[in-house]
Chain A
C-alpha cells in the first residue's frame, strides 16, 4: 500500500530557530514529491522535487530529495511567526498527515 509518512507530527520553536521537517514515502510509480504550506485554508505550493540531490530554495526555505532512501526534508532557517502552519508532503496524490509547526515570538 502506498504511503507517505511525515515527522515530527508537531513542533514548537522560537523565532530565529532552524527547523527540519521529514517526509518518507513508499509509493509505486514515483513521479514527483511536493511540499505544501497550509495556514487557515487551502494548501499552497512550496516545492516540487523530481531528482535526487538537487536542492530547491526559496528564501529561507529549502528542500532536497533522496530517491534512493525514499525521503525528503524541508528546512526553514531563521524561522518567523509567519511560518506557523501545517506543512504537507505529497507524492502524486498521496499526502502525509502533515507537520504542525508553531513559531513563538
Chain B
C-alpha cells in the first residue's frame, strides 16, 4: 500500500496562475482533508470531504476549491494564486479519527 500520495512535491507559481494539487489514498478511507501549514501556525484545515460526493469548508477555505473525484482522490485547486498561499500543503485521510498524512507539497507563489 502506498498510503496517501500527493503530487507535485514542489511547485513555484506566479501570482494569478492556477494549479491543482492532487491527492490519492489506497486505504479505502471515507474521509479526506486538505491542510496548509505555515511557520508558527500549525496545521489549518482548508477543506474536507466526509465521504465520496461531499465536501465542506474548513477554517481557511478562501481562494481554494476542491473536488472529491471518487473515494480515492481529493484534489485542491488554486484558481488565482496569491503570495499569501505560499505554504506547505498536506492531504490526509482518516480511519477511526487517526489521520494518515501525505508527504506534502511545498508551494511558493511569487
Contacts and interface: CB of A to CB of B under 8 A. Distances in A.
Interface of A: 31-32, 34, 36, 41-45, 48, 88, 90, 92-98
B103 A42 contact: yes
Contacts of B101: 42-44
A4 to B, nearest CB: 8
B45 A93 contact: yes
B12 to A, nearest CB: 19
A93 B48 CA distance: 9
Pairs of residues from A and B, 10 with the lowest C-beta to C-beta distance, nearest first: A42-B101, A97-B42, A95-B43, A32-B97, A95-B42, A93-B45, A45-B98, A43-B101, A41-B103, A98-B42
Given A93-B45, A96-B42, 6 more contacts: A34-B99, A42-B90, A45-B100, A48-B98, A88-B42, A98-B42
Contacts, number: 45
Contact of B97 (A31, A94, A97): A31
Given A93-B48, A95-B43, A48 B97 contact: yes
A32 B99 CA distance: 12
Most B CB contacts (10 A, CB to CB) among A41, A44, A45 go to A41
Contacts of B35: 95
Given A34-B99, A92-B97, A42 B43 contact: no
